[in-house]
């Protein structure tokens, strides 16, 4: 028995009809429980794979055996559901179609083909911004992926405010760089201790002294560069970025406002606005007890587009740097996808680069509604 699957094409847009044929060649009559075609999207990332079935078309049942020979079985279904295909740096979404022959008391046969799905310019498909499995608590988990507060509890750091009355303007904003200078006590004390041991050992060499000197040459510069970077970051002060609505369409030009509140004078090399996609996923690490796995949250930002707003200027304390920027969203900008263990979230961000600190930023999530 031979089973083959053919599609009319490999690239589809939302609203299109996926069609093709399942070809079966039999040497003798054969009974099948069923022969079906199904499609599913698969999300890969963080060493884990999620599969979500969307459509299933049964093209042969167990009513009667298929006679010997070649059989050309057509199928078709409409692609009217999200998500679209996405290939990021850490996460990817692909669509697959599978032809499956369920053979009673025998080895089942299957063939899988991959195809891509993109936005459509003609059809309007209702958008469902959240994709979750039926796992209990999935909707709750998806809001605990972002950060941990001072008490160690999970919290959403870019939560959109609730809907306001119609007469009040809705403003959605993101905050960044709000922490003051962060001291690393252990690193600082260790570097000071090494200095007290290593410097005198230069005049009284010993094996222990040389070891301390080698450690001193590594940790003292590390401490210096950390505080040099941290001083620039804290001097820039809090950053606020605002958009005036929540829903945007790919290709739309949007207006963003930002505000930087410096605490001390700092020289800025570049200030840019970026369209990004935030990829969030879990990494599981085994604990000492093999029956328990700990979840570690990993965040990765994929840059889509960048616009330089200003460069080579000085932020002065007491003077806010406020500006409005117009930016056009790419026509193929990914929409939001949320599952139990993964999230793909489009966002717009303001990034500041100083002489010693390359990335001081604030971002606000965008709800892309094709």
Domain segments of the chain: what residues?
2-118, 138-176+237-368, 185-235
Q: Looking at residue 103, what is its pLDDT? A: 85
> How much is the pLDDT for 158?
35
DSSP 263: S
* Residue 169 DSSP one-character state: P
Say yes or no: domain 2-118 is CATH 2.60.40.640.
Answer: yes
Non-local (6+) Cβ contacts of 69 within 8 A are 25, 26
- Confirm if 368 and 344 have CB atoms less than 8 A apart: no
What does the pLDDT read at residue 151? 46
Tokens describing residue 91: 């996460």
| Whole-number pLDDT of residue 49 | 85
Per-residue pLDDT of the chain (370 residues; tens, 9 = 90+): 788 999 988 899 888 888 899 998 888 888 888 888 998 999 988 777 888 888 888 887 777 788 888 889 888 888 888 889 999 888 999 999 999 988 888 888 899 999 999 987 755 555 554 433 333 332 222 223 333 344 444 333 333 333 333 333 455 888 888 888 888 888 888 888 888 887 777 777 777 778 888 888 888 889 989 888 888 888 888 899 988 877 888 888 989 999 998 888 888 999 999 999 999 887 765 554 444 455 677 888 988 999 999 889 888 887 888 888 898 998 888 888 888 778 888 999 999 999 888 888 899 888 887 7
Q: Which pLDDT score, from 0 to 100, does residue 208 have?
A: 78
Indicate if the alpha-carbon torsion angle 55, 59, 65, 71 is positive or negative.
Answer: negative
Going by C-alpha positions, the residue among 251, 302, 284 that lies closest to residue 87 is 302
pLDDT at residue number 295: 63
CATH topology of domain 138-176+237-368: Immunoglobulin-like (2.60.40)
Chain centre to alpha carbon of residue 350: 18
The token pair that represents 294 in the structure block: 């700990």
Q: What is the pLDDT of residue 127?
A: 55
């Amino acid at each position: 028995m031979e089973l083959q699957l053919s599609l009319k094409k490999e690239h589809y847009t939302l609203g299109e009809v996926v069609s093709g044929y399942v070809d079966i060649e039999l040497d003798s009559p054969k009974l099948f429980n069923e022969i079906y075609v199904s499609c599913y999207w698969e999300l890969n990332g963080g060493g884990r794979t999620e599969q979500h079935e969307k459509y299933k078309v049964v093209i042969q049942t167990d009513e009667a055996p298929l006679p010997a020979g070649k059989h050309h079985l057509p199928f078709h279904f409409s692609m009217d559901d999200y998500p679209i295909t996405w290939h990021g740096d850490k996460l990817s979404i692909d669509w697959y179609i599978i032809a499956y022959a369920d053979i009673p008391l025998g080895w089942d046969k299957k063939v899988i083909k991959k195809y891509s799905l993109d936005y459509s310019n003609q059809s309007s498909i209702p958008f469902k911004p959240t994709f979750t499995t039926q796992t209990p608590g999935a909707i709750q988990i998806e809001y605990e992926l972002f950060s941990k507060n001072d008490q160690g509890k999970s919290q959403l750091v870019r939560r959109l405010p609730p809907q306001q009355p119609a007469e009040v303007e809705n403003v959605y904003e993101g905050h960044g760089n709000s922490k003051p200078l962060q001291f690393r006590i252990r690193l600082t004390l260790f570097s000071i201790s090494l200095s007290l041991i290593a410097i005198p050992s230069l005049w009284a060499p010993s094996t222990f002294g040389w070891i301390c000197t080698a450690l001193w040459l590594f940790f003292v510069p590390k401490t210096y560069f950390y505080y040099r970077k941290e001083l620039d970051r804290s001097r820039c002060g809090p950053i606020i970025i605002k958009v005036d609505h929540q829903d945007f369409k790919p290709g739309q030009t949007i207006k963003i406002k930002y505000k930087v509140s410096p605490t001390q004078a700092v020289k800025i090399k570049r200030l840019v606005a970026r369209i990004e996609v935030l990829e969030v996923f879990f990494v599981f690490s085994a604990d000492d007890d093999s029956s328990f796995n700990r979840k570690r949250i990993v965040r990765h930002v994929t840059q889509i587009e960048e616009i330089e707003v200003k460069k080579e200027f000085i932020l002065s304390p007491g003077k806010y740097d406020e500006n409005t920027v117009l930016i056009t969203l790419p026509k193929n900008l990914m929409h939001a996808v949320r599952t139990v263990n993964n999230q793909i979230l489009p966002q717009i961000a303001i990034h500041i680069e100083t002489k010693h600190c390359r990335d001081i930023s604030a971002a606000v999530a965008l709800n892309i509604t094709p």
